[in-house]
Amino acid sequence: MFFQDVPQGPPDPVYILKNAVDADKCPEKVDLGVGVYRNERAQYNELGAIKEAKKILTQKELGHDYEVTTGDAEFVRNAAAVLFGKNNKAIKSSRITSVQAISGTGSIHLAALFLSRCASFKGKQVYIGTPAWGNYEPLFNLVGLKVVKYKYYDAAKGVVDFKSVLDAVSQAPEGSMFVLQGCCHNPSGADLKPEQWRELANVMRPRKLFPFFDMAYQGLGAGLEEDAYGLRYFEEQGFEFLACQSFSKNFGLYGERCGVLHVVSEGEKVPANVYDQLRCLIRWEFSSSPAYGARLVNTILGNEELSTKWTNELITMRQRLISLRRALYSELVEKRKTPGNWSTILSSTGLFCFLPLDPRQVSTLATQHHIYMLQSSRINVSGMNQSNIERIASSIDEVVRSSGTVLANL
């Protein structure tokens, strides 16, 4: 009788969609929902570099002992080099404190918990541009931080609504935190351009606003270096900030929960205290992070040949995503003249983009054509392949024409 008053949790659109896909036994079903990179066979894509790293680890017989609370020191150093650059001055001067966490979500939770306990952020708010990844708000609310939303994406044009971003920054109280996705924006795929990153930094600095970088897709947008442009520019300009790094997407280690939290700070004693606080929080909450995924990543990043193989595989993945975008656009616009503005297919980057479909059209695609996507019309581009892309386009065209509804974009 102790749990009779426990309420149901709020619905999770991704969880609901995954269950619907799994329940559909149609052999031609198409899953454009969950954000996992799929290969041409619509299956999990294991990188060749990961396969080789597994063999190396097997030969080493490292066992399954606990990892150090804050993660293997070599692993977090290598992770920092990927994100900030190998010759980064902040790394060399010890301005950056890095600890392992449970992938991107766990890194964000640990970061939010850390900020909620810092006196400088007491009573401060977290600004999140919309549409946004659905986990941001509950993750910050969970540790007692209040979320303020502002418009990030211009649905009609399919681009970042940069004026709204600057307006939010200009109006936010001093010390406010801004969540910034460094690349491959989830869910829109619309990213800031280099000149916009520079202008954003110039506006945020005098207002003493705090950047909170989410780096879940580095390498899948324009390239490993290019995707880190915004973060690296903020660091070069002397900002203090947090960065949450995930290796789920760019290493294909979704289930291994491999990520790193980086804190960029100032002062000689500050990094040591930051490290010690993070050590305590990790110890109190989950004791230590999973070792296997981190060892795989470290094996690759610590081996020049494997590291080159990995970066080349990322290029192949990135080029395939671009090719799939072009193919879908061609099928809809050039071949079928499907009504609507389909420009976001080509202007977006990474795994995701929005299609100009309403929830009713999305539901019809699922029930009548076995093609699944989120009700927001966000699709995972890698769910398409050469064997299904024509059927996807044909089905979308049929649904749009039969419904009589044409959206400007979203």
Identify the pLDDT of residue 406.
62
Judge whether residue 409 has pLDDT over 60.
no
214 classed as catalytic: yes
d(C-alpha 385, C-alpha 392), whole Å: 10
275-286: average pLDDT: 97
Across the chain, mean pLDDT equals 95
Residues of the chain with CATH 3.90.1150.10: 13-45+319-400
Q: Are strands 153-154 and 159-160 parallel, antiparallel or unpaired?
A: antiparallel
Q: Which of 161, 214, 227, 397 is catalytic?
A: 214
Instruction: Report pLDDT digits (tens) over 127-159.
Output: 999 999 999 999 999 999 999 999 999 998 899
Identify the pLDDT of residue 93.
87
Say what the pTM is.
0.94
> Measured between alpha carbons, how far apart are the two ends of the chain, in Å?
46
284 classed as catalytic: no
- Please state which CATH number belongs to domain 66-302: 3.40.640.10
Identify the pLDDT of residue 174.
96
Report residue 1's pLDDT band, with 50, 70 and 90 as the boundaries: confident
Of 12-16, 185-189, 210-214, 306-310, the one with minimum mean pLDDT is: 12-16
Instruction: Report pLDDT digits (tens) over 309-363.
Output: 999 999 999 999 999 999 999 999 999 999 999 999 999 999 999 999 999 999 9
Which residues touch 242 (CB under 8 Å, ≥6 apart)? 111, 114, 115, 211, 212, 213, 261, 262, 263, 264
Which residues touch 295 (CB under 8 Å, ≥6 apart)? 53, 57, 62, 72, 75
Instruction: Report pLDDT digits (tens) over 250-259.
Output: 999 999 999 9
Q: Which of 249, 309, 310, 342 is catalytic?
A: 249
Contact 405, 361 (CB under 8 A): yes
CB-side exposure of 234: number of CA atoms within 13 Å? 29
Collapsing DSSP to helix, strand or coil, 129 comes out as strand
Residues of the chain with CATH 3.40.640.10: 66-302
Instruction: Report pLDDT digits (tens) over 36-80.
Output: 999 999 999 999 999 999 999 999 999 999 999 999 999 999 999
358 classed as catalytic: no
Q: Higher model confidence: residue 158 or residue 200?
A: 200
Q: Which of 29, 133, 161, 310 is catalytic?
A: 133
Identify the pLDDT of residue 410.
45
Instruction: Report pLDDT digits (tens) over 97-106.
Output: 999 999 999 9
Distance of CA 7 to the CA centre of its chain: 30
- Please state which CATH number belongs to domain 13-45+319-400: 3.90.1150.10
Cβ neighbours around 301 below 10 Å, total: 22
CB-side exposure of 46: number of CA atoms within 13 Å? 10
170-184: average pLDDT: 97
